[in-house]
Amino acid sequence: MYDIANIRNQFPILNETVYGKPLVYLDNGATTQKPQCVLDVINDIYMHKNANIHRGVHHLSNVCTDLFEQARKTVARHINALSDAEVIFTRGTTEAINLLAFSFGETYCRKDDEIVITTMEHHANIVPWQMLCERKGMKLRVAEIFDNGELNTEHLYSLLNERTKLVCVAHISNVMGTVNPVKQIISKAHSYGIPVLVDAAQSMPHKTIDVQDLDCDFMAFSGHKMYAPNGSGALYGKAKWLNEMVPYHGGGEMIDKVTFEKTTYNQLPFKFEAGTPDYISAVGLGRAIDFMEEIGMAAIEEHEDEIVKYTINQLGGIPGIRFIGEAKEHSSAVSFLLGNVHPYDTGMILDKMGIAVRTGHHCAQPLMDRFGISGTVRASFGVYTTKEDIDALVKGVDRVRMMMS
Amino acid sequence: MTNEQQFIHNYTTMTINEIQDEIVEEFSDYSDWMDKYSYLIEIGNDMPPYPEEHRVPQNVIEGCQSTVWIYASLTDENKIHFEADADAIIVKGIVGLLIRVLDNQTPDEILDTDLYFIDKIGLKENLTPTRSNGLLAMIKQMKLYAMAFKTKIGDKQ
């Protein structure tokens, strides 16, 4: 049985009140709250273990190095990477994609090459590619979506050609919760010899991701969206690519030998981890993964899918509700508009009722343009989301409707 | 008092601080946030229509999740007449309050004023620069208009 009371008890922040009302936290797509075990591990390191990693001769440095490398092993095991060396720690998805756009771009891309993305990408999976295209004189091709928020895969496939260098696609849309058929996309792209990046920022908290089963070439995610500390995250990449790619940042730790004439680089993954990494957040990420696995990834997915269905069902009963994104495969978030009410009005009123949602364009302005809207109200879910949270949201939205009519 | 009467009333008699005190008095009836928001919605709905010719990019206030337009013109008495609109109704209510306070005042009065009513009616949290409704940006823009018209009047005299 999914013991939601026990899960909620592990998140101290869920006992907070805002404006004197119990917190109803439905902004998990932006960031999740942290369980006590993650908070404890951070505190424990700062109180008893902290020292910089990989370079110390002394005891504490070795302790932290071991913890950091253990966290890398945990990530690698969780996503079923072939080797730990394929996991590069970053500050999150945005940094992971910027790293890839630079290093992949400098290594493999030339003028007139093309990158394929989709209409539903987050700005973090658009702008780095635009910057690469500007730098190299390349072209960004954008796969269309259908009105129900599903990806038009046939259109995406029609964009693939001998100039396509990389396909970059979100696993789950941060706005609509659409789950894209990434395995099928990867298989198709590979038949043309084209590698694929999966932006798993929204899917890692909700699903088991097996990079070998998907056969993705790259995968990026953020720790803070999966119960881990801010400033943690990773880029997974197949070793064959990472070994060939030039480094992103230069500095300490990423070198083999430095002279003023020439520097040679360290092996994977250190080649891509210049400077002192946020090793404490990385350890927190490892602990957060353990926390999720203790609940069970299948159980989490089942619980959250049920919450999505319940939300659509309950909100759907309010007159004037329109959902943005009604894909068959739908997970993690629900976006909606209430009649002609501006999403910001809805969000401001819900806020005063203690309900935290996100409003606006959700860093996906091209998607808003696609639907001809300025923004949506988004409720997004986590392991601790209850049906009572959704009932409070529905009651709140209905209150908004009455105030606005 | 209807909104139109309110505007005429303002034009003829009241100083900025008298209007601010009047607003504070009105809001003192509402202890609950929902009541305050309902009142702001009412104010927003009662605003005079915004002239379409002024719905242009240079009149848009940046930094809002909702789009806000503010336009200012100089009256024959060298006072400033503000017109505004917003696509979110609560934000429109907030800008409506600003207009009620600052409309038909002289540039000097607008530049010198301390808008204490915002704090007193509980909207102060909206004043930090990172707040997405852009209240601070609206006030800044209205004062910039006052500054520009003050210079213009000075040049004529």
Residue numbers in B near A349 (CB within 8 A): 34, 37, 90
Q: Is B85 a catalytic residue?
A: no
CA–CA distance, B16 with B5 (Å, rounded to integer): 17
Gap from B31 CA to chain A (nearest CA, Å): 12
Domain ranges of chain B: 3-156
- Residue B87 is nearest to which of A342, A348, A353, comparing CB atoms? A342
CA neighbours closer than 13 Å in the CB half-sphere of residue A141: 18
ipTM of this complex prediction, to 2 decimal places: 0.85
Helices (H), B70-156: 89-102, 107-112, 117-120, 135-156
CA–CA distance, A41 with A246 (Å, rounded to integer): 34
CA–CA distance, A340 with A323 (Å, rounded to integer): 13
**CATH of segment(s) A4-28+296-404:** 3.90.1150.10
User: 3-class SS at A206?
Assistant: coil
Asked whether the whole model's pTM tops 0.90, one would answer yes
CA–CA distance, B98 with A66 (Å, rounded to integer): 59
Residue with tokens 């996991």: A87
Match domain B3-156 to its CATH number in 3.40.50.300, 3.90.1010.10, 3.30.70.890, 3.40.50.720.
Answer: 3.90.1010.10
Domain ranges of chain A: 4-28+296-404, 40-293
Element (H, E) at A299: helix A297-315
Band (pLDDT 50/70/90 cuts) for residue B135 is confident
Q: Could you tell me which CATH class the domain A40-293 is placed in?
A: alpha beta
CA–CA distance, A156 with A142 (Å, rounded to integer): 8
Query: Which tens digits make up the pLDDT trace of A187-233?
Result: 999 999 999 999 999 999 999 999 999 999 999 999 999 999 999 99
Of residues B155 and B92, the one with the higher pLDDT is B92
Question: Are A375 and B37 within 8 A, CB to CB?
Answer: no
Catalytic residue from among B14, B40, B43, B64: B64
For chain B, how many helices (H) and strands (E)?
Answer: 7, 3
CA–CA distance, A169 with A186 (Å, rounded to integer): 10
Query: Which tens digits make up the pLDDT trace of A146-155?
Result: 999 999 999 9
Residue B7: the pLDDT is 54
Q: Name, in order, each residue with C-beta under 8 angstroms of A100's C-beta and a sequence gap of 6 or more.
A: A128, A197, A218, A220, A235, A237
Task: Give me the active site residues of A, please.
Answer: 363
